[in-house]
A and B are shown apart, each in its own frame.
Chain A
Amino acid sequence: MKITVSSTGLSALDRPRMPMIALVVFALALAVFFVFPDRLSLAAYIGIFALFALSLDLALGMAGIVTLGHAAFFGVGAYTAGWLALAGWQEPITGVVISGLCAAALAGALGPFILRLTGLPLVMVTLAVGVFLFEAANKLTWLTGGDDGLYGMTFSPVLGIFEWSIYGTTDYLYVLAWLALAFYGCHRLTTSNFGLALRGVRENRLRMSLLGSSVLAQLTLAYALSAFIAGVAGALLAQTSEFVGLEVLSVEKSIDVLVILVLGGVGHLYGALLGAPVYLLIKDMSKEWNPHAWMIIIGFMLVFVMLVARGGIHGVLHKVIERSRGKLPNGEPR
C-alpha cells in the first residue's frame, strides 16, 4: 500500500515563508489576553491543543506518518511532568523539557519498528500501541493513580516570577510562549534540508531510498521531534491543571487532535493554530445551545472540508487571499 497523505500538503518547491498568518494569529492570541481576561483557562487549553496539533503536523504533514495513536506521546509527557512534580522537581520549564524528551525517547524506540509500515497497517499499529498504553496506565494504579488520576502536585512560579492562579493569566502566557517557540522551531525545521528530505520521503519513499537517503532513520527522527512537542503539550496540560487523568492517553484524544489538524489544514503548520480554536470553541459554545449538537456540527464540518473545502481552514483562507490578490483565476482548483 503506498503512502498517500493529504494532497493538500505543500510541495517541496512551495517553501513556507514566515508569513502574515502566523503574525496575525499570534497578535490575535495576545489580544485575547486583554479582551477576554475571564476566559483564559479555555484559551490556555486551546493553546495546548494547538501545540499538540502542531506536533502531529510534523509527523503527518511533513513526514507523512498517518497515526491514530499520537496521544501516547501527549500522555507520556503529561505523566512525566506529574511525576517530576510529585517527586519534588517543581520547576516548570525544565519539567516541560524533560517530559518532552521522555516522549521523544519513546518515539525513538518505537519508530524503527512501526515506521517500516505505511498506510492502514501503520494506522492500526499506532492505534493499538495507544490503547495498550492506556490500558497499562489504568492498571498501574500505584504509578498513575489509575482512574482516579494523579493529583496533589504543585509547580513553582514560572521563571520564579509568575504565580499560577485560577484566572489562567500565567497559564495562558506560558502556553502561548511555548507555542510560539515550537511554531518557530517547526517553521525552521520545515524549511531546512532535513524538512525537504522528509517531504521527499512523503511524496516518494522509494525514490528517496534509491537516492541513498536513510528513510527509516529520517522518519524516526521526525517522529521523535513530533513526539517531543506532543510531550511538551502534555506536560503543559499537567502543569496548568495540576492533575493528570487517564484521558490524556485515550484514543479519543488521538482522534481529537487529528480532527483539529485536518479542520485547520494539514502540512502548513498554521493549520494547527487555526484548527484548535475553531474546534474547541465550537465544542464549548454549541453546548450552550444543545449538548449533542457539537458532534453533529463537527461531523458535518469534516465531511464538508473533505468534499468541498480541501485544505481545511488554512486552505480556504489561502485561496481567498490569493484570489483577492488576483493570483488565482476564479474557479481554478488549487
Chain B
Amino acid sequence: MEQFLASLAFIVLYGGTYGAVLFIISVGLVMTMGLMRVPNLAHGAFAALGGYLTILLMNQAGMHYFVAVPAAVILVAALGALAERAIYVRLYNIPELDQILLTVGIAFIFVGGLALTFGPNVFTIRLPEVLSGSVDLFGRSFPVYRVFLLAVGALIILGFWLVFDRTTLGAKLRAAVDNRSMAQATGINVERIVMLAFAAGTGLAALGGAIGAGLFPLEPLYPIKYLTIILIIVALSGFGNIKSSIVVAMVVGIADTAARYYLPELGGFAIYALVIAAVAMRPAGMFARQG
C-alpha cells in the first residue's frame, strides 16, 4: 500500500510538472485557435526561439538565468506582435488548409534558420544553483527544478484567471472569443485584443521553451518534433477552450507519466489511441457540452 501511494505521489508530481510545461507551451496556440481560428503550426517555433534566445542572452550577454528568461520572453512576445500584424492578420479569412500550409512554411523557415545559426547540436539550458538541488516533499526527494516548473505553471493559471475574470481586458477577450463581430459592434477594439493575445501566446510559448528545456531539449527540428504533442493538447481541449486546456495538459502529462510507468512499452501508443478515440467521439473537445 505504501509502495502504491509512493508511486501515486510520484505520478501526480512528475506528471503534473510535465503537464505544466505542456500547458505553458500549448496555451498560446489554444488562445489563437479560440480567438482567430488559426491553427498556427509555427507555434512550436516561438517556443524554440525562446529557448535559443535564452541561451544566447546567457552565453553572449552574460545575463543571469532569471534575467535572460524574461528578456527572451519579452523579445519573442514582441516578435509575435509584429508577426501578427505583418502576416497572421492576413490569415483570418482564408481557408483552413491555406492557414495550415502557410504556418508550416513559417515553421520551415524557423527550422532552417535555427540550423544555420546554431548548428545541429542539441542544447539544454544550464540551470542556476538555486534550481539544481532537490527538496523533500511527501516523504521523498523531489528536484527543485520540477517544483519550479509547477510553481510557474500555477502562477500562469492564476494569471489567466485574474485577467479573464477580474479585468475588463479579460471581459473583452472573452467577448471577442465568443462572438467576434458582436464584440466589434459594441466598440471593442478586437484587432488590438487579438494582437495582444497573440503576443501573450507566443511569449508563453517562449517561456515554456526556455524553462522547459530540461525536458524538451532545444534542437533545430524542435518546432516540428514537438508539434504533434502540442496539437494533441489543442485538439483535446476542443480547439480554443483555455480552461479545458489546463485540465487537458495536466491529464495528458499525468496519464502519459502513468502509462510510461506501468506500461512503458505501450506508452508510445497510448496517447495516439486516446486522441483518435477522443476526437472521433467528441470533436468539440473532451470537456465540451454534448450537442
Contact = CB atoms under 8 A, between A and B. Distances in A.
Report A-B touching, CB under 8 Å: yes
Query: How big is the A interface, by class?
Result: 35 or more
Q: Which of A6, A7, A128 has the most CB of B within 10 A?
A: A128
Interface stretch (B18-26, B103-111, B174-182): B103-111
**Looking at chain B, what size class is its interface with the partner chain?**
35 or more
A206 interface: no
A66 B90 contact: no
A252 B39 CA distance: 18
A127 B231 CA distance: 10
B89 to A, nearest CB: 11
A117 B279 contact: yes
Contacts of A116: 280
A123 B100 contact: yes
A196 B197 CA distance: 42
Interface stretch (A30-38, A227-235, A297-305, A321-329): A297-305
Nearest to A129: B276
Interface stretch (B52-60, B127-135, B252-260, B265-273): B265-273
Contact of B107 (A135, A136, A299): A299
A164 B98 CA distance: 40
Interface stretch (B112-120, B152-160, B241-249): B112-120
A60 to B, nearest CB: 7
B102 interface: yes
Given A132-B273, A136-B269, A298 B98 contact: no
Nearest to B275: A128
Q: Is the interface of B mostly helix, strand, loop or mixed?
A: helix
B109 A296 contact: yes
A6 B99 CA distance: 10
Contacts of A10: none
B61 interface: no
A216 interface: no
Nearest to A297: B112
Contact of A295 (B111, B235, B280, B283): B111
7 contacts: A66-B97, A116-B280, A121-B235, A132-B272, A135-B268, A296-B112, A303-B105
Given A131-B272, A132-B276, A306-B94, 13 more contacts: A66-B100, A113-B280, A120-B239, A124-B235, A124-B275, A128-B276, A135-B269, A262-B97, A292-B115, A298-B105, A300-B109, A303-B105, A303-B106
